[in-house]
Amino acid sequence: MNAAYESPPLPGFADIEAAATRLAGVARRTPLLGDTPLDEAVAGRLLFKAECLQRNGSFKFRGAYNRLVQLDAAARRAGVVAFSSGNHAQGVAAAARMLGIPATIVMPANAPAIKLENTRALGAEVVLYDRFSEDREGIARRIVAERGATLVPAYDDPHIVAGQGTAGLELVQQARELGLTPDQVLVPTSGGGLTAGTAIAVRTLMPAAAVYGVEPEAFDDTRRSLAAGTLLNNPPEARSICDALQSSPPGRITFAINRGLLAGVLTVSDREVETAMARAFRDLKLVVEPGGAVALAAALAGRLPLAGRTTAIILSGGNVDPATFIAALTR
């Protein structure tokens, strides 16, 4: 795909504030961790927004609930449909169960078993597809047409972006409570919802802070799209252990936001991601999935100057199969 850039309607900071009101008492205010052994490793101060401790182990619950809670009674009865490799699936399934809404999730057959199991356990109907030969969006839209359901995108929706942006809003609030102002914020990036929402919140409240997206080097469509000024897909042969960061291309809404607010996009290798997962476990006592660890991986790999600076890092998810996690710890 090489779609020309078109300016869509964009969410703003007021939308994030409204989402925070809806999520109050529903989503967890995940901790912002500081004063860890990793400060010494980088000769700077690192702050970790632990979204791996969010409901269902991922930031995705924020956007899903913010989208679903605004559906009217008729739309709730008709149900919702989403397509996801796992974290958005669980977020939608959890929000739907809380709100009494039927949910159908289109998921790749090779998604981590823990994500498939958790999505089913939350009461959602799971429809499997082949990630490399079938069109998940086409499957989802067919189900939507058949059932009159509402499609809940993983990232290219203003309500989703606003919900994810509450993680960035909390990050800023918690940093201020510590008397700190981050010089830079690193955010895991795929479709761009978390990155866009975080960038809106951070740049509104801390304009001098630089926000960077971080992608797996094999799935760098956001980096390439921003450089080209148009939406670009990842090559079909691309592979990475970061199953949560394989959406392609960036969304039109997220692209429009990120092209104006990001200081840049960094990339990391799978081996660097495994190192970050192991360091998060050893030094932070946290289980972080591959896609959730890319921002930490960029910091530890020296993608940016960190010495003498305060850097905030979002650990976006913790849903990882045991075999993948053990491999990262032992390698």
Same-domain pairing of 44 and 179? yes
Range name among 4-8, 94-98, 125-129, 314-318 with the lowest pLDDT average: 4-8
* 4 occurs within a structural domain: no
The pLDDT value recorded for residue 59 is 98
Q: What is the mean pLDDT of residues 278-293?
A: 98
**Of the candidates 94, 121, 151, which is a domain's last residue?**
151
269 is catalytic: no
* 6 occurs within a structural domain: no
Same-domain pairing of 71 and 144? yes
Q: Give yes or no for residue 305 having a pLDDT over 60.
A: yes
d(CA 134, CA 292): 26
Q: Single out the catalytic residue among 190, 225, 240, 316.
A: 316
The pLDDT value recorded for residue 73 is 97
d(CA 258, CA 299): 20
The pLDDT value recorded for residue 7 is 55
Task: Give me the numbers of helices (H) and strands (E) for the chain, helices first please.
Answer: 14, 12
DSSP code of residue 150: E
**Of the candidates 120, 151, 182, which is a domain's last residue?**
151
Of 180, 246, 261, nearest in space to 16 by CA = 261
Q: Give yes or no for residue 39 having a pLDDT over 80.
A: yes
pLDDT higher for 131 or 91?
91
* 1 occurs within a structural domain: no
Instruction: Report pTM.
Output: 0.94
Percent of the chain at pLDDT exceeding 70:
98
Q: What is the mean pLDDT of residues 282-290?
A: 98
Same-domain pairing of 214 and 256? yes
Q: Please, which pLDDT band fits residue 8 given cuts at 50, 70 and 90?
A: low
Percent of the chain at pLDDT exceeding 90:
89
Q: Which domain holds residue 273?
A: 11-58+158-330
Q: Please, which pLDDT band fits residue 9 given cuts at 50, 70 and 90?
A: confident
Same-domain pairing of 164 and 51? yes
Same-domain pairing of 240 and 312? yes
Q: Please, which pLDDT band fits residue 114 given cuts at 50, 70 and 90?
A: confident
Q: Please, which pLDDT band fits residue 12 given cuts at 50, 70 and 90?
A: very high
* 27 occurs within a structural domain: yes
Same-domain pairing of 110 and 183? no
d(CA 37, CA 193): 30
**Of the candidates 96, 118, 151, which is a domain's last residue?**
151
Q: Give yes or no for residue 210 having a pLDDT over 70.
A: yes
Contact between 209 and 202 (Cβ < 8 Å): yes
Same-domain pairing of 109 and 205? no
Q: Give yes or no for residue 102 having a pLDDT over 90.
A: yes
CATH number at residue 137: 3.40.50.1100
Query: Who contacts 319 (Cβ-Cβ below 8 Å, separation ≥6)?
Result: 56, 57, 58, 86, 87, 90, 112, 114, 115, 118, 244, 289
Between CA 152 and CA 155, with CA 153 as vertex, the angle to 5 degrees is: 135
Same-domain pairing of 172 and 264? yes
* 122 occurs within a structural domain: yes
d(CA 114, CA 109): 12
60 is catalytic: yes
Same-domain pairing of 73 and 194? no
Same-domain pairing of 114 and 167? no
Same-domain pairing of 96 and 239? no
Q: Give yes or no for residue 198 having a pLDDT over 80.
A: yes
Same-domain pairing of 135 and 172? no
Q: What is the mean pLDDT of residues 97-126?
A: 92
* 123 occurs within a structural domain: yes
The pLDDT value recorded for residue 65 is 98
Into how many domains does the chain fold? 2
H-helix or E-strand containing 264? strand 264-268
d(CA 78, CA 284): 43
Q: What is the pLDDT of residues 133-167, one digit of tens each?
A: 888 889 999 999 999 999 999 999 999 999 999 99
Q: Single out the catalytic residue among 60, 225, 247, 248.
A: 60
* 180 occurs within a structural domain: yes
148-178 exposure pattern, b = at least 16 Cβ within 10 A, e = fewer? ebbebbbbbbbbbbbbbbbbbbbbbebbeee
